[in-house]
């Protein structure tokens, strides 16, 4: 490597030994390297039950910004949780610390509050308040129905789908915990109601609406 040249890499997943537990973070030993990983409250509740020395795995959101030059690793139990966290970071005035602190209730509940424009629930999240809750709804409403459909029992990762309908069915089954037949019926019914749907976000939104009725 040339002199003065830095090598950067983004960490998206870690598996290793739980080396240390602190109030809001852990140290994970992987291939001889100890990674400090911040954990939102919903994830800490899981790790409070784990013992030092256990093998664990985390889906990682790697964050580095002008105001935060030191890389921050934020850990999640599933890919959808990580995805939702990164969507939350796209909201104006939501920084890394605020997004981490805000996840005091399961992602599915936060997403449902966004889709239902429930400012009261969002405003009660740590560090949010009414004004930021309104910004979250204004910028993410209609974009997070997928996460509102999540099971609270810890979904798993999913591969790349081939088409729109299959994509949504795959996510419902492999990420969100639905049975295959149930997911297919939900998606087919949504397509029949709104055949003009042209994106996964629109299809998740229609599936979510049907579950509320």
Beta bridge partners of 14: 58
Q: Which residues contact 3 (CB under 8 A, 6 or more apart)?
A: none
Mean per-residue pLDDT, 47-70: 86
Residue 145: HSE in the Cβ half-sphere, 13 Å Cα cutoff = 17
109-157 pLDDT, tens digit each: 999 999 999 999 999 999 999 999 999 999 999 999 889 888 665 443 3
The CATH H-level superfamily of 13-76 is Nucleic acid-binding proteins (2.40.50.140)
Question: How much is the mean pLDDT over the chain?
Answer: 85
| 15 strand-pairing partners | 57
Using alpha carbons, list the distances in angstroms from residue 48 to 21, 74, 88.
8, 16, 25
For position 62, what pLDDT does the model report? 93
Q: pLDDT tens digits for 166-191?
A: 888 888 888 788 888 888 888 888 88
């Amino acid at each position: 490597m040339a002199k003065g040249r830095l090598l950067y890499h983004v960490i998206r997943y870690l598996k290793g030994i739980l080396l240390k537990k602190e109030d809001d973070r852990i140290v994970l030993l992987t291939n001889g390297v100890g990674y400090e990983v911040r954990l939102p409250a919903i994830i800490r509740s899981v790790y409070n039950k784990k013992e030092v020395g256990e093998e664990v795995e985390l889906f990682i959101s790697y964050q580095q910004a002008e105001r935060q030059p030191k890389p921050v690793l934020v850990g999640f139990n599933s890919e959808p949780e990580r995805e939702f966290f990164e969507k939350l970071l796209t909201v104006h005035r939501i920084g890394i610390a605020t997004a981490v602190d805000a996840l005091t209730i399961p992602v599915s509940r936060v997403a449902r509050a966004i889709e239902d424009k429930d400012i009261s629930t969002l405003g009660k999240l740590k560090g949010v308040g009414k004004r930021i809750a309104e910004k979250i709804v204004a910028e993410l409403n209609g974009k997070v129905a997928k996460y509102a459909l999540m099971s609270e029992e810890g979904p798993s990762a999913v591969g790349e789908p081939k088409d729109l309908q299959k994509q949504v069915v795959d996510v419902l089954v492999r990420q969100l915990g639905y049975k295959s037949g149930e997911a297919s019926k939900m998606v087919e019914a949504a397509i029949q109601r709104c055949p003009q749907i042209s994106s996964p976000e629109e299809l998740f939104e229609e599936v979510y609406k049907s579950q509320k009725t």
